[in-house]
């Protein structure tokens, strides 16, 4: 079973307006509510690909109930830990350009964290855990603790996080990490202007323990690096409509084809991420399938 962990999920309230006048009464042209959060996004894309997963994390109040009911309606299993306080509401204002207003979310306690650790402790080497997003305030070392817990039990995990939250887990051999160029520069302390420089920097993280690295470059495509392969994957053509969830969709696509070989994984990763970027919400299966045949996985030697 694939488990996704979202520490601070949200109800994403999308508000569309023709124009926004600050200090005046504004009327919407359309609104929508979604179950949000990076791990939840991964579960939603996996569901679109008919790959089962269970969404874990912390949820509370009427907004937490909304998230759990929404996932149930989408045939996505969840097992959230109930916390005091309401799960946050994030507002996405779309007026041509997108403006986001993100709330901080409820407080998480040591008791809540212990319950999550207990859930992870019941898993086996047949499972895979995806960690994505920020950690609760005051728990800066949480990813490292959870990565060690899983590593000691022989459970593979994927982590999509930034800075020290990511690097602290490398010693526990994450299955997949997905930095972008800016994040890789920050992690390695290098300025990365060429493909070879990016590949060399990625190998630093491979040497520290990462098994697979998918380096996303936006419209410039993506690079994939592990100990046996180096690939470049150009981005398919399309109109960018939505940057929210594209990275999570990329992770889901890669994980969804874990038994199918690296090239197939990369096709699904880039198709899923691009399909979400070209959609108003997360991609549907139909959106993804339209792009699959347009994804070309090139070995770095071919590129050179």
> How do the domains of the chain map onto residue ranges?
1-20+29-160, 175-304
∠ CA 207-162-70, nearest 5°, is: 120
Which residue, 8, 16, 2, 14, is CA-closest to 45? 2
Q: Per-residue pLDDT for the chain (304 aa), expressed as one digit of tens each?
A: 999 999 999 999 989 999 999 999 999 999 999 999 999 999 999 999 999 999 999 999 999 999 999 999 999 999 999 999 999 999 989 887 788 899 988 999 999 999 999 999 999 999 999 999 888 888 989 999 999 999 999 999 999 998 899 999 999 999 999 999 999 999 998 988 899 999 999 999 999 999 999 999 988 899 999 999 999 999 998 888 877 788 999 999 999 999 899 999 999 999 999 999 998 789 999 999 999 999 999 998 654 4
Give the span between the Cα atoms of 147 and 109, in whole angstroms: 19
- CATH number of the structural domain 1-20+29-160: 3.40.1190.20
Q: Which two tokens stand for residue 148?
A: 């060690």
1-20+29-160 and 175-304 share one fold: yes
Q: Which two tokens stand for residue 72?
A: 């149930």
Residue positions annotated with a catalytic role: 248
Evaluate the CA torsion angle 2, 295, 285, 241 in order and state its sign. Answer: positive
**What architecture is the 175-304 domain classified under in CATH?**
3-Layer(aba) Sandwich (3.40)
Are residues 89 and 62 in contact, defined by beta-carbon separation less than 8 angstroms? Answer: no
Taking the complete model, does pTM exceed 0.85, yes or no? Answer: yes
């Amino acid at each position: 079973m694939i488990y996704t962990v979202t520490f601070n999920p949200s109800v994403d309230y999308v508000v569309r307006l023709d124009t926004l006048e600050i200090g005046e009464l504004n009327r919407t042209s359309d609104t929508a509510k979604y179950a949000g959060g990076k791990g939840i996004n991964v579960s939603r894309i996996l569901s679109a690909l008919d790959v089962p997963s269970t969404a874990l994390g912390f949820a509370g109040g009427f907004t937490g109930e909304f998230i759990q009911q929404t996932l149930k309606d989408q045939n996505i299993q969840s097992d959230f830990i109930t916390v005091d306080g309401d799960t946050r509401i994030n507002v996405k204002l779309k007026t041509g350009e997108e403006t986001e207003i993100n709330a901080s979310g409820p407080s998480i306690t040591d008791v809540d964290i212990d319950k999550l650790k207990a859930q992870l402790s019941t898993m086996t080497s047949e499972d895979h855990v995806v960690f994505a997003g920020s950690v609760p305030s005051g728990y800066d070392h949480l990813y490292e603790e959870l990565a060690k817990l899983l590593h000691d039990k022989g459970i593979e995990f994927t982590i999509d996080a930034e800075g020290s939250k990511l690097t602290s887990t490398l010693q526990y051999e994450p299955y997949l990490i997905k930095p972008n160029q800016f994040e890789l520069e920050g992690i390695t302390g290098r300025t990365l202007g060429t493909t070879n420089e990016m590949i060399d920097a990625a190998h630093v993280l491979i040497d520290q323990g990462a098994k697979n690295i998918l380096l996303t470059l936006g419209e410039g495509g993506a690079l994939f690096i592990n100990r046996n392969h180096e690939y470049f994957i150009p981005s398919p053509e399309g109109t960018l409509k939505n940057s929210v969830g594209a990275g999570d969709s990329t992770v889901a696509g890669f994980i969804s084809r874990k038994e199918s070989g690296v090239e197939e994984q990369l096709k699904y990763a880039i198709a899923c991420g691009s399909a979400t970027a070209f959609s108003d919400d997360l991609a549907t299966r139909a959106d993804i399938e339209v792009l699959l045949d347009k994804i070309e996985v090139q070995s770095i030697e071919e590129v050179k």
